Amino acid sequence: MPEKIEKELIGIVSRLFDEGRIHHFLGYGKGTVKFKTTPLIARNQEDLRELWLEDFCAPNLTLYLKDIKGQVGLLVKGCDSRSLVSLIKEGQVRREDLYVVGLPCPGQIDPGKVAGALGCESEELEEITRRGPEMVVRVNGQEKTLPKSLALMDKCLNCPYPKPLIFDSLLPGEYVAPVPGATPTEDELCRRPVPEKWAFWAEQFRRCLRCYACRNVCPACFCPRCIVEENMPQWVSPLATMGDNFVFHLLRLMHVAGTCTSCGECQRVCPMGIPLMKLNEKMTDDLRELFGYVAGVDLDRPFPFRTYRQEDPDDFIR
């Protein structure tokens, strides 16, 4: 990312610290492994030296608003700003406590997808860079090019909100979808018969380790104590059996319905590669279809499960 933007960002944040406007700034630091940046929780001017912007700014920093209270500044991509809207709506943070800096996002690279497109292992990828409309990938010493659509996360291609929905300042840059007009790949699982769906998901739930990374990285999962940790009564057994994993994932899905903005962090961090975004997207599609609700885009519409209309669909009820 150009130095100019970084300078501008440091200028803004320094001023905020100077004026005592914020106590913490949430940004990104340089990652220590390929294709990763690390969240940076800066507490003062000095920490800003570690600030780093690059092509891999996947982490959704609004996650840390669970822990870090008070006056906080943070960087948001367009998609992250939707989580922010959700959190403000949920009363988890107050708009006036935040200083929001918008980050132009060129779409997040999905190394797994790149490797898949090139037919190699993601461990073999050496470098991924952007060159105009294409991505240049170095694999085992060779350069290969890919269209963006085969390298960026699916959710990024036709990003519906490239420009943050709320911000106090915007860093210079282009706020546009990386591949405008890209049609989302249809989830062909939807069309398969019910037993085949179960065969697919039972295998996914079976593999879940219950490391809770999906829950802990989720900005929408802000309960101080999760129901799966309760044992009196114990609703969900801590044993990572397929059945209990099923209860855990479905329950989590129901709990974040309306707050989940499909930011994709759960799937990105899952160490077992469970396609959790399929579930999220099914849920967000349903909410849109059934109640016309889209999470994290406005502060005024009530959450879908806290309101109703008399004409809500009830064709499934006897």
Residue nearer to other proteins on the CB measure, 31 or 173: 31
CA gap 160, 177 in Å, rounded: 7
Residue nearer to other proteins on the CB measure, 68 or 166: 68
Which member of 254, 292, 298, 299 binds other proteins (CB under 8 A)?
Answer: 254
Q: Which is nearest to 280 in space by CA: 28, 68, 82?
A: 82
DSSP string, 134-193: EEEEEETTEEEEEEGGGTB-HHHHT-S--S-SS-SEE-SS--S-SSTTPPPPP-GGGGS-
Q: Which stretch binds other proteins (CB under 8 A): 15-23, 93-101, 153-161, 269-277?
A: 269-277
Q: Which stretch binds other proteins (CB under 8 A): 3-11, 31-39, 96-104, 161-169?
A: 31-39
Q: Which is nearest to 100 in space by CA: 116, 89, 88, 112?
A: 88
Query: At residue 266, what is the residue type?
Result: C
Count of residues engaged in binding other proteins, rule: CB under 8 A: 87
Q: Is 316 in the site for other proteins (CB under 8 A)?
A: yes
CA gap 77, 178 in Å, rounded: 13
Q: Is 211 in the site for other proteins (CB under 8 A)?
A: yes
Q: Is 149 in the site for other proteins (CB under 8 A)?
A: no
Q: Which stretch binds other proteins (CB under 8 A): 95-103, 145-153, 165-173, 225-233?
A: 225-233
Binders of other proteins among residues 47 to 76 (CB under 8 A) are: 59, 63-64
Minimum gap (Å) between residue 47 Cβ and other proteins: 10
Minimum gap (Å) between residue 311 Cβ and other proteins: 10
Which member of 5, 41, 117, 170 binds other proteins (CB under 8 A)?
Answer: 41
Are 146 and 135 in contact by the 8 Å Cβ rule? The answer is yes
CA gap 216, 42 in Å, rounded: 21
CA gap 267, 227 in Å, rounded: 21
Binders of other proteins among residues 157 to 176 (CB under 8 A) are: none
CA gap 52, 48 in Å, rounded: 9
Which member of 7, 184, 199, 298 binds other proteins (CB under 8 A)?
Answer: 199
Quick note: the x/- pattern for other proteins over 107-146, rule CB under 8 A, is -----x-------xx-xx----------------------
Are 71 and 22 in contact by the 8 Å Cβ rule? The answer is yes
Quick note: the x/- pattern for other proteins over 77-106, rule CB under 8 A, is ------------------------------
The angle formed by the CA atoms of residues 314, 308 and 315, to the nearest 5 degrees, is 5
Question: Judging by beta carbons within 10 Å of its beta carbon (0-12, 13-18, 19+), is residue 204 exposed, middle or buried?
Answer: buried
Helix (H) or strand (E) holding 242: helix 242-256
Minimum gap (Å) between residue 205 Cβ and other proteins: 8
Minimum gap (Å) between residue 244 Cβ and other proteins: 7
Minimum gap (Å) between residue 285 Cβ and other proteins: 9
Binders of other proteins among residues 234 to 253 (CB under 8 A) are: 234-244, 246-247, 250-251, 253
Minimum gap (Å) between residue 190 Cβ and other proteins: 7
